[in-house]
Amino acid sequence: MTQKQISHPEGLANCAAGHRARHIHDERRASAGGGHLVECCCRSTSKKADADAALAEWRRINRPARSPRAAPIGAGNVVQFKLSLAEQSQKPERATGGRHGRG
């Protein structure tokens, strides 16, 4: 038999669906389809000449999903002005009162 399962003392990470993974080494030459691959019942990596490359690809394709970023929280002492060209600005009303020296 040309394929052997390699056991890892620390174990392999499960796939995203939770299936157990196994590391297989096909001992044929690379030109004959040999190499290292990591597989479970639902997916597998492509064959690699290097075992570390196959393990790295397994970790990459089964990386846990990222959580969405939280919305930034603005500081309480920041004043935001409405700066939009689409809004119609209202004319400010003139203050009524004295003439302040104007004749």
Average pLDDT over residues 36-54: 90
Output the average pLDDT for the chain. Answer: 80
Residues 54-92: tens digit of each pLDDT:
999 998 988 877 777 776 776 677 777 777 776 565 666
What pLDDT shows up at residue 57? 92
In this prediction the pTM is 0.57
The first and second tokens of residue 69, run together, are 């970023």
Q: Specify if 8 maps to a domain.
A: yes
Query: Could you tell me if residue 66 is inside a domain?
Result: no
Structure confidence at residue 54 (pLDDT): 92
How many structural domains comprise the chain?
1
Phi-psi region of 33 (alpha: psi -120 to 50; beta: other; left: phi over 0): left
- Structural domain that includes position 10: 3-61
- State the residue for tokens 């209202």: 90
Task: Determine the pLDDT at residue 53.
Answer: 92
Instruction: For residue 84, tell me if it sits in a domain.
Output: no
